[in-house]
Amino acid sequence: MKPSMSIARTLSCLSLACVSAIAFAAQPVTVAPKPDLAKGQATSTAICSACHTADGSRGSPANPILQGQHPEYLVKQLTEFKSGKRDNAIMKGFAATLSEDDAKNVAAFYSGKQAKAGFAKNKDLIALGEKIYRGGIAERSIAACAACHSPNGAGLPAQYPRLAGQHAEYTEAQLVAFRGETRKNSAPMTDVAAKMNDREIKAVADYIAGLR
């Protein structure tokens, strides 16, 4: 007895599905190459060390500490310096010389280093800084920094940078730049900083320096 037309169609569809599944499974899986730490170190030494030190440690307060920063965040910043989305003439010049692999390699090199602990310096502002970091300022709809950057300042990979131990002077400068819209590569940070006064910015930047 011949199978009905509907059964025949079902069998045909199942056969095609099986063939497609086998063909898909047979395709080679592309695995992204791991960053080359030796090349990352070479890039750091040749290009980055003058401002960030050879291993991204506690150099000049005008420049960020890169040790222990999430590699995805560092790659994002280098990409945006290169494109001009984050406007900095010095960094744009350096980033322009880096390929995508170069950026990933040097980011992985810095990320693999242990960030040294920092400390807060202004005891008169420590309570205000802690209040803003942990609870925000509700009456002005200023979100708590900890909501995105975590209570201990570790941040979230690929989304929010590590802040713990960062130079207070650098953090303060970036918040002022977001507020003045001279740094434009993070709409959430522009919104937060726009509502903060100088004293609040200084307080939270100093508090962040002591997080660990």
Note whether residue 3 is domain-resident: no
| Residue 96: partners with Cβ closer than 8 Å, 6 or more residues away | 82
Q: Within this chain, do residues 83 and 138 fall inside the same structural domain, yes or no?
A: no
Q: Within this chain, do residues 138 and 107 fall inside the same structural domain, yes or no?
A: no
Task: Give the residue-averaged pLDDT of 160-187.
Answer: 97
Q: Is the dihedral of CA 27, 32, 38, 42 positive or negative?
A: positive
Q: 20 vs 209, which has greater pLDDT?
A: 209
**Domain final residue pick, 88, 111, 134:** 111
How far is CA 212 from each of CA 156, 185, 208, rounded to the nearest angstrom? 15, 26, 9
Note whether residue 41 is domain-resident: yes
SS3 assignment, position 136: coil
**Domain final residue pick, 85, 111, 137:** 111
Q: 24 vs 208, which has greater pLDDT?
A: 208
Q: Within this chain, do residues 132 and 182 fall inside the same structural domain, yes or no?
A: yes
Note whether residue 176 is domain-resident: yes
Q: Within this chain, do residues 204 and 161 fall inside the same structural domain, yes or no?
A: yes
What pTM value is reported for the model? Answer: 0.84
Q: Within this chain, do residues 152 and 85 fall inside the same structural domain, yes or no?
A: no
* pLDDT band with cut points at 50, 70 and 90 for residue 11: very low
pLDDT confidence of residue 10: 47
Over 50: is that where the pLDDT of 14 sits?
A: no
pLDDT confidence of residue 39: 98
pLDDT confidence of residue 58: 86
Task: Give the residue-averaged pLDDT of 53-64.
Answer: 91
CATH of residue 195:
1.10.760.10
Q: Within this chain, do residues 170 and 199 fall inside the same structural domain, yes or no?
A: yes
pLDDT confidence of residue 198: 98
* pLDDT band with cut points at 50, 70 and 90 for residue 54: confident
- Structural domain harbouring 141: 126-209
148-165 b/e with 16+ CB inside 10 Å = b?
Answer: bbbeebbbeeeebbbbbb
Domain count, the chain: 2
Note whether residue 18 is domain-resident: no
Note whether residue 72 is domain-resident: yes
98-153 pLDDT per residue, tens = 999 999 999 999 999 988 889 999 999 999 999 999 999 999 999 999 999 999 99
Task: Give the residue-averaged pLDDT of 82-109.
Answer: 97
Percent of the chain with pLDDT over 70: 85
65-76 pLDDT per residue, tens = 999 999 999 999
pLDDT confidence of residue 177: 98
**Domain final residue pick, 78, 111, 144:** 111
Q: Within this chain, do residues 143 and 185 fall inside the same structural domain, yes or no?
A: yes
